[in-house]
Amino acid sequence: MNHDQEWTQPEPLWREDTTIDSFDSLNENLSTDVLIVGGGITGITTAYLLAKSGKQVTLIEADELVNGTTGHTTAKVTAQHGLIYDEFQNHFGVDDASLYYQAQMSALAFMEELVEKHSIDCDWVKEDAHLFATTKQGALKLEKEYKAYMNLDIPGELTDTLPFDMDATKALSMKNQARFHPVKYLAAVVKELKNLGCDIYEHTKATDVTEGDRIEVTTGNNCTITCDQLVSCSHFPFYDGKGFYFSRMYAERSYLMAIEPEKEIPSGMYVSIDEPKRTVRTAEYEGKPILLVGGESHKTGEGVDTSFHYRAIEEFAAETFGIKKKLFQWSAQDLTTLDKVPYIGPITRRNQRVFIATGFRKWGMTNGTLAAQLIADYVVGETSLFHDLFKPSRFKTDPSMKQFLSQSFDVATHLIDGKLEIVGERPERLRTGEGKVIQWEGKRAGAYKDQEGKVYMVDTTCTHMGCEVEWNSAEHSWDCPCHGSRFSYDGSVMEGPADKPLVDLSEQLLPLSEHKHEGQEDQLEESE
């Protein structure tokens, strides 16, 4: 990879310098005690804990292990999840707010113990985490958050400065947090899984669930896995089970860039609370310290041209730290629940055989590990101090109802606006590597022209609930603003809740080269 050239596709740092064991796809029916769907930090850690408890465990992944949200993380291991503790103690009470902090710290302690126990070389570094404000209003919020820290016995410190050149009005630290290399960490855990006899299959997508005396899960290549208990660790639950999770979460995208800075690298992990959001942390690459700089969060399918967000982060990094070399850039999608607390536990109140773990916001390393601990306890019949706080069947009137109504209104707006949108672009006007919403036979469609000049055209109606998808120029994908489904430029599903591809309209297009040969630059005809 030539890092001095512009990127054609985002690429995360974590997958560049580390390999993880690969596995075949499933090609036969099988039976197991527990089936885990999803090969990120949650699924792998859950499999590890259950295999150690003596359960027969099978783990399947639709793509490759650690190539989803876990492989695109900032990899902070911290209980400082933005401005939440003042909010939590006001909405849920001091006891539950304290339980949330204890739960996150228990996950951090588990990870640190695992690193030490198995001597995992994963760049594990203990550092303080910091929130910082750049406005007077933000400073007041940090002062309220600091009071919540003191009330909840969270070790922290409020200061007026940052250790790098940026005008900050206040900064709030949380002591003894950590950062690490997630792929190196999970590569070691996967090796332990193999030693424990866990069956792992990649490129094996769960497509359907039938619940009877036992649970039957059908895969994309028509194999059946029969199990006693099913755990969905697939970011968005691949199986809803009448839990209506699509209406109880919203999806956001954020962006990250790895650079070799010109200025001295500060220690610690930093997140801004004012707009535009910024995140900064150190890492290591090829034996040298580097910086990860990110932010620019927005709801999936909304906002300006997504390439803008990378440019904004690059400008911030250049102004604040200087850029000697650009190394990597990538993005992530995160799910937020109605009350900002993840859903971890039985998929519904009455179904104690299917478990889910989702809605981690931007804090999947601790929440994913915590989810594995809680679900493992459920499966083996043990109780946890944290079960009730995270159970998916909870509903906190404040703030859940307010967020639910806001999200429902947002979805309705997108449904109406998308259908009424008037577009006039034509597919023959696309430049190489460009995707756009176009007009085709009087209807809204989406078109993308690849590097070889081939044009892909899809119906832009999301197959989940009928919203209109928008083009994501940074990832070359079609993103749904209603519930966060994402589709590749050819219409195939990249991320749920949609489970069916966009309708392919490409066959209605003749090759553009043929039209040029016929001298029809401005008009396309349907193929016969």
Looking at residue 412, its pLDDT comes to 47
Structural domain includes residue 450: yes
Confidence class of residue 423 from pLDDT cuts 50, 70 and 90?
A: low
Question: What are 491's two structure tokens?
Answer: 């219409």
Lowest-confidence segment of 199-208, 220-229, 325-334, 514-523 by average pLDDT: 514-523
Cα gap 109→152, rounded to integer Å:
19
CA dist., res. 296 & res. 303, Å (int):
10
Query: What pLDDT does 402 receive?
Result: 54
Give first-to-last CA distance, the chain, whole Å. Answer: 43
pLDDT value at residue 524: 35
CA distance 37 to 29: 16
16 falls in which pLDDT band (50, 70, 90)? confident
The answer as to whether 449 is a domain residue is yes
Residue 313 domain-assigned?
no
For residue 137, report the phi and psi dihedrals to the nearest 5 degrees. Answer: -65, -40
The answer as to whether 480 is a domain residue is yes
Range of the domain at 502: 427-517
Tokens encoding 205: 């997508």
On whether residue 348 sits in a domain, the answer given is no
* pLDDT of 353: 97
- The verdict on residue 264 lying in a domain is no
Q: What CATH number does the domain containing 501 carry?
A: 2.102.10.10
110-114, 244-248, 480-484 — most confident range: 110-114
Q: What is the 3-state secondary structure (H, E, C) of 445-496?
A: EEEEECCCCCEEEEECECCCCCCECEEECCCCEEECCCCCCEEECCCCEEEC
pLDDT value for 525: 37
pLDDT greater than 70 at residue 112: yes
pTM metric for this prediction: 0.84
Q: What is the mean pLDDT of residues 163-188?
A: 94
Q: Distance of alpha carbon 423 from its chain centroid, rounded?
A: 31
Query: How many domains does the structure of the chain reveal?
Result: 1
335 beta partners: 251
SS3 label, residue 252: strand
Q: How far apart are CA 469 and CA 489, in angstroms?
A: 11
The residue-averaged pLDDT of 150-177 equals 94
* 355 occurs within a structural domain: no
Mean per-residue pLDDT of the chain:
87
Q: Is the pLDDT of residue 519 over 50?
A: no
| pLDDT(326) > 60 | yes
Task: Flag whether 446 is in a domain.
Answer: yes
**H/E element, 418:** helix 397-420
Q: Which residues are bridge partners to 356 per DSSP? A: 232, 345
Between 92 and 424, name the one with better pLDDT.
Answer: 92
